[in-house]
């Protein structure tokens, strides 16, 4: 897509700070980082979200996620990371080009991801699994 900023990054038409790349995936520093070394990994081709990308290309994107994590471990000693991908507006996806965040974490970094738990859903587990059959 010509107006997709991540497509422009992948084509070299928008500035980026490349961390690593492969034939079908590209990793670069997030321009609005939550902390140091916050990295985005995208497929080079435009796919809106996890539901849109073919399996083989997703495998290459995920492989690059792991390679970036291993690079950060090897070069920086970073072993605490969050890997996040949001699919859909209600899941807080804001750029509609599939992407994964690698966010290195350390105690006192000021970042929080809070899960609101709903233990009442436990009583529905059997019905939930039945719906998936």
Among 99, 101, 114, 118, the one annotated catalytic: 99
The two tokens of residue 12 are: 């070299």
Long-range contacts of 75-78 (CB under 8 A, 24+ apart): 76/37, 76/104, 78/37, 78/104
Measured between its terminal Cα atoms, the distance across the chain in Å is 36
Q: Determine whether 38 is an active site residue.
A: no
**Phi, psi for residue 45 in degrees, rounded to 5:** -85, 150
Active site residues: 99
């Amino acid at each position: 897509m010509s107006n997709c900023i991540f497509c422009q990054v992948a084509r070299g038409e928008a500035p980026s700070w490349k961390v690593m790349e492969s034939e079908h995936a590209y990793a670069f520093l997030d321009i609005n980082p939550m902390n140091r070394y916050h990295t985005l990994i995208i497929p080079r081709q435009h796919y809106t979200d996890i539901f849109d990308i073919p399996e083989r290309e997703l495998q290459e994107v995920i492989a690059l996620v792991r390679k970036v994590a291993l690079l950060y471990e090897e070069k920086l000693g970073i072993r605490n990371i969050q890997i996040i991908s949001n699919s859909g507006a209600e899941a807080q996806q804001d750029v509609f080009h599939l992407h994964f965040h690698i966010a290195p974490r350390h105690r006192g970094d000021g970042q929080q991801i809070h899960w609101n738990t709903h233990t009442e859903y436990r009583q529905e587990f059997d019905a939930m699994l039945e719906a998936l059959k």
